[in-house]
Structure 1
């Protein structure tokens, strides 16, 4: 059996530069990052979750202006909805039940509107992810995080009010569950907001209290066989779970639960370097997602296993098209191949490029020192 040699350092670095180019070329004049400029269900829309991870890659690349523009767009989305957010939070604080249809969307038009197309919209993880990403960007580049203070305060209020509500997960599925990856993002966002010093004392106190409640809930009900699980009370894992370790810190790297979670995801969802979303996935046949390989590689790098992290970077680079564009997923080891055709018929070929894939490639490349020549020391940055 022959094996393909790993990409050269120049190829890997070239893909990083191309990733920056793809992301910034498609960044909307508003500052929003479209999820994919060509895919029928994604073009014209931006997600806080996808965009925040993409902005993290751009921030690490050193393009402060592009990342600022995204965070300005996200902040504007929130402050434009100040009255609605305050009404939602007020209702929650008074004990009134808020219907799912009234909650903030998970995706917005590139101009910042809600959009008229029906979607699986109630997802809270993106708001926690943005809190983490905007404060991390400001810290990295020594920016005045006060630039985004009004939006951060609104976002903290919204997250603190609705963190314990069932909602859709990263994959816009299972509204009836509380998802551990979602809870991890909310925890990471609240802790980051408090640590930035941008919120007032009362908000900081509430955010800190909620963060501890989240952590206790997950450790009590979100762990099976020593590792994190897909949702509270489930038995399976999800490819998004490593985010609960790095970057969100719900479980610290030196906690046995962290190591067990990374190992469980690797064992159950990694096929030859490509990470699936979850074992029962049928979306486009259940392929391997580049961004999840980058996420697991990021965690391996942070834990000191740089050999594994480099392997993930090599695998991702090998999936690039002839134009050095990175897709959402690839079909080499489909979990449910009989379902692929129905999705192609419904929405067309797999999203390519996916800006989130390019953003996560930049994150992992930077973590390994490809962008700066010096690998990151996660523990020193925490």
Structure 2
């Protein structure tokens, strides 16, 4: 179940591109951050008169990679010891236009003259399908255009290509196979047949390189909803040239970062995390994807993940991004009803007949908001959004923002009240899926989120001068949840808080920290919380260190997670245990990738990054930790 793809990301909050460790493209999301993902494969090849042809993703190439400081610009240096050359690739997405720029700088490091050709391979599955695609060579623009429905891609260089091939997989025209003799056949048109995908290759004959000589080629991939728009994007990029586009992009990101709160601790990973969170946020709609991955498939907006991410950006000074996210939440909020589920025996039965509007489902496509695959109610999502809204108000004191969102706030608070147990359990939340989306029960984390959400709504009602009766009712409902938590979830005999009840689950779970961070049901110094944290610390003893979700976790084999480790770090920062807090935070940073991308998990035995990379929630928790450190230093 691994499927881990180590990548850095580029983008402009509309176009999102992943670059792998070998300088290859891993993902290309456009025109939205969640759909469609068009990339099957894309990388370069080199033909030399010494060794013949080879892809730069194969042996004997070796690689080093870095981000350009304070910008989503990746530089990959590839060295081939057999030929004696370096290929330096600088990748970025223009800050405004939907254009991917790939700048190749090829250097002869050997003592001999070499003849070299640069090949570029592009294999797209436009609109996530291999059927129905077509590609052709356009001689007027000297580019290859591939298209399907309303998605067009135009790929060409800043100098005239020496050859091209449009082909189909596993066919006599296959552009992947056509390169090995150092030339291309020149097939100008291909239309997919059945389930065969299509591909293309381009060639630039760079001629003789003297020792130490270098030459450059820039490849542009422009996008548009029709042929003219895609070509216009490509031609504009050529006109503005690599240097101009690079300077535009670098200037934009330097200016954007200049608006953030300055920090002294972990400043480089802090700024990289802010850029990463911005790239995961939709420019047009405001929704935030959890991660730019399809395995695992995290290219959705979970309102919960979004709330953690947006409060991190909000706290760092990016209030506009926060307002856009809550605008997205208002559109996504359930208007008619919410699926209401219950167990009949061992079977989970879902119905809309007795549901209520006002909540949020588990996850959504973001552009525009559409419900993604979900498996039942998860009420912590609703509490997290309300908590985030009041946090934004505390930062900005913007009453207009509250007024504009009052209807959403009221419906969400009423939905939480509707989902409270009215019989037998005296006000705690009904059964649902928990934060890890695995078990059907009454979860401590979910109750904490709803407590915080109702307290937030009550405060907002008073700020806006709404009826005191509403504020008082929500306040009382929140107090009932807190009393229920103390009564039902605290296990006095065991000396720690239970993870869930109905059915009782006494497993130690790091998500229990939600009662303090961020939902503030109890103080971090509450003795019951201290005892629970001690049990969490005792529960994990991975060879590589770090903190997991809970003992017995089987997802990806059960590993330490960045978010859970950072959760504990933030807790210790609250209580003043600075040494332990920093130890945990540094562990997370040390287990980032070479590009400072934080994964969801870390392999318990090898320490390698695992699952989704980068995970927005992981980066958000790091930002929260750093800003908490600044607040308390």
Bin of the TM-score, shorter chain as denominator length: 0.7 to 0.9
Are 2:385 and 1:124 aligned? no
Shift of 1:21: 0.4
Are 2:515 and 1:252 aligned? no
Match of 1:216 among 483, 490, 512: 483
The structure-2 alpha-carbon separation of the partners of 1:311 and 1:141, relative to structure 1 and needing over 3 Å to count, comes to farther
The structure-2 alpha-carbon separation of the partners of 1:116 and 1:39, relative to structure 1 and needing over 3 Å to count, comes to closer
The match for 1:291 is 563
The match for 1:206 is 473
Deviations 1:248-278 (A, max 9, x none): 1222233211111222212213646511111
Deviations 1:130-182 (A, max 9, x none): 1111111221122222232111111101111113221111111111x101111
The match for 2:336 is 83
The match for 1:100 is 350
1:299-310 to 2 correspondences below 5 Å = 299-310=571-582
The match for 1:261 is 532
Match of 1:361 among 619, 622, 626: 622
1:1-382 to 2 correspondences below 5 Å = 12-28=266-282, 29-78=284-333, 81-84=334-337, 100-102=350-352, 104-115=360-371, 117=373, 119-144=374-399, 145-163=402-420, 164-175=429-440, 177-196=441-460, 197=462, 198=464, 200-224=467-491, 225-232=494-501, 233-269=504-540, 271=542, 274-333=546-605, 350-369=611-630, 374-375=631-632
Shift of 1:116: 5.6
CA distance in 1, matches of 2:541, 2:456: 30
Q: Is there any run of 5+ residues in structure 2 with no aligned partner, and where?
A: 1-262, 341-348, 421-428
Bigger helix fraction: 1
CA RMSD of aligned residues (A): 2.6
CA distance in 1, matches of 2:378, 2:329: 15
Bigger strand fraction: 2
CA distance in 1, matches of 2:305, 2:287: 11
The match for 1:96 is none
The structure-2 alpha-carbon separation of the partners of 1:223 and 1:237, relative to structure 1 and needing over 3 Å to count, comes to same
CA distance in 2, matches of 1:147, 1:262: 40
The structure-2 alpha-carbon separation of the partners of 1:202 and 1:366, relative to structure 1 and needing over 3 Å to count, comes to same
Q: Secondary structure at the match of 2:479?
A: helix
CA distance in 2, matches of 1:270, 1:249: 28
Shift of 1:10: 7.2
Shift of 1:205: 2.2
TM-score by length of 2: 0.50
CA distance in 1, matches of 2:580, 2:294: 31
Greater Cα offset, 246-255 or 234-243 = 246-255
CA distance in 1, matches of 2:512, 2:380: 12
TM-score by length of 1: 0.82
Q: Secondary structure at the match of 1:45?
A: coil
CA distance in 2, matches of 1:282, 1:15: 30
Shift of 1:302: 1.2
The structure-2 alpha-carbon separation of the partners of 1:200 and 1:108, relative to structure 1 and needing over 3 Å to count, comes to farther
Kept in 2, the 8 Å contact 1:328–1:351? The answer is: yes
CA distance in 1, matches of 2:482, 2:521: 6
CA distance in 2, matches of 1:203, 1:133: 20
Bigger RCO (CA 8 Å, 6+ sep): 1
Q: Secondary structure at the match of 1:293?
A: helix
Kept in 2, the 8 Å contact 1:34–1:42? The answer is: no
Kept in 2, the 8 Å contact 1:107–1:121? The answer is: no
Kept in 2, the 8 Å contact 1:82–1:154? The answer is: no
Larger Rg: 2
